[in-house]
Amino acid sequence: MAEVLLLSVPVFGHVKPMLALARALVADGHRVRWLAVEAFRARVESTGAVFCAMREGFDYSLPEKVPQTLQQRRQALRGLAQLRFDLDVFFIQPSQGFCLDLLALHDEQAADLVVCDSFLMAGAWWSERTGRPWVQLCCTVLTCPSRAVAPFGLALPPDDSLLGRWRNRVLRLLTRSLLFRSLRTSADQARAGLCLPPRRPWLFDQVSADLVLSGTVAAFEYPRPDLPAQVSFVGPLLEEEQEAFTPPSWWGDLDGVTVVHVSQGTINTDPSLLLRPTIEALADQPLLLVVTTGRSDGSIEALGALPANVRAAGYLPYGFLLPKVALMITNGGYQGVQAALSFGVPLVTAGAGEDKPEVCARLQRTGASLDLGTAHPQATAIRAAVQEVLTDPSYRAAAQTLAAQMAAAGGAAEAARRINLVLDKQRLDADQVIAANN
């Protein structure tokens, strides 16, 4: 049995894949302590992991947890400026507090290993301070540098030609020295608070030397000829089959009809962006539209009067919903996309901000989606995209190919197996050190 620490970004879309992993690690006999916020206590404890409350970390699990001044500053920004703000305020600066919490838990009971969300630097910094291995869990697209891939955030296609390598090298220099220079300074300041030296790799440069778990399959990601050997594609980390579910009264309406599902995620839940335009676009179509608002309180009223062919809920477990779905319309949230593909469901995407353009770009390359290229599409564009994806069988065929690959990848059980290999190596190295000193 090993002592394992877990840390995820305190947002549901990042917590959810780690639930499946926590359950698998507990099943393997490890003692798992999960540093999390109160909003996720019940879900954490349902896996068998020990819930450990954050003390120094930034809790932004709900919109009301974020100070109004920060929300106003963010809303005034667009594009790369907003991405830079998000990376600094929600991922880089808080990593100091998250790391302090991890170190406090390690002082209480020494941990053998930490599994940390790839969007937080706290896991790498904890490893520097303790000398113990860390596992990088990618809950979004791979961000590790590659000669064939442009820096994260630009949503450019991969290019391993001589010209493409030159493009990518120049863009890396520009993003590090100009566009994201302030983020490197912010990371150094956070490291100083942990008594760590400056000028170590920052967020998208860092790659765990021990293990990187990608929650998808290689066919979804951009090809990287220089992919580090420790990167493992384990497929989606799905928790769906473990969720309790009481079907709504209209659940039987989904049988024997063409079901289209639209979701806008759990962060930006303004229904005017994607939900209402989709309802308008499909109100008179011969299908049944299932809308989820992404809010725990449902907020169905914000959708307005619903046409006869629309059903709505705050949240529906994908393990129950997606087997009934012919097409999913989404803002490009990574976990929702992976869930849809794991069930062989093709998609129409309409996303912007955060990692959404990168997710949508990769997805469209697979042939399993049609991307509208905006977070606020017109109803006419949505209607045309839905008709194309539903009538062209190539979209579903591509999604089903990915589904077969995902089923073979192993998911949470394979991720746990890879972590066990890291733990085995750690024990072997420790035994060799002891033997050498005797």
pLDDT for the residue 268:
64
- At 174-201, the pLDDT tens digits run 888 887 888 888 999 999 999 999 877 7
Where in the chain are the domains? 3-235+410-437, 242-407
Same fold, 3-235+410-437 and 242-407: yes
- pLDDT (0 to 100) of residue 243: 67
Q: Out of 115-124, 169-178, 334-343, 428-437, pick the least confident.
A: 428-437
- What are the CB-based long-range contacts (under 8 Å, 24+) for 298-307? 299/269, 299/271, 302/271, 303/271, 303/275, 303/276, 303/279, 304/276, 306/279, 307/279, 307/283
Q: What is the CATH number of domain 242-407?
A: 3.40.50.2000
Query: How high is the pLDDT of residue 298?
Result: 52
Most confident of 78-87, 178-187, 304-313: 304-313
Q: Which residues contact 404 (CB under 8 A, 6 or more apart)?
A: none
**pLDDT interval class at 106 (50, 70, 90):** very high
Cα 395 to Cα 142, 378, 400, distances in angstroms: 24, 22, 9
- Residue 221 vs residues 35, 98, 252, 340: alpha-carbon distances, Å: 29, 29, 37, 16
Q: Given pLDDT bands bounded at 50, 70 and 90, which one contains residue 315?
A: confident
pLDDT tens-digit series, residues 351-371: 877 788 999 999 999 999 999
At 80, the pLDDT band (50, 70, 90 cuts) reads confident
Residue 34 has pLDDT above 90, yes or no: yes
**Cα distances (angstroms) measured from residue 227 to each of 146, 147, 207:** 7, 10, 11
What mean pLDDT, rounded, does the chain reach? 90
Top-confidence residue, 419 or 60: 419
Residue 312 β-bridge partners: 291
**CATH number corresponding to 3-235+410-437:** 3.40.50.2000
> Higher-confidence residue: 7 or 180?
7
Residue 83 predicted with pLDDT over 60: yes
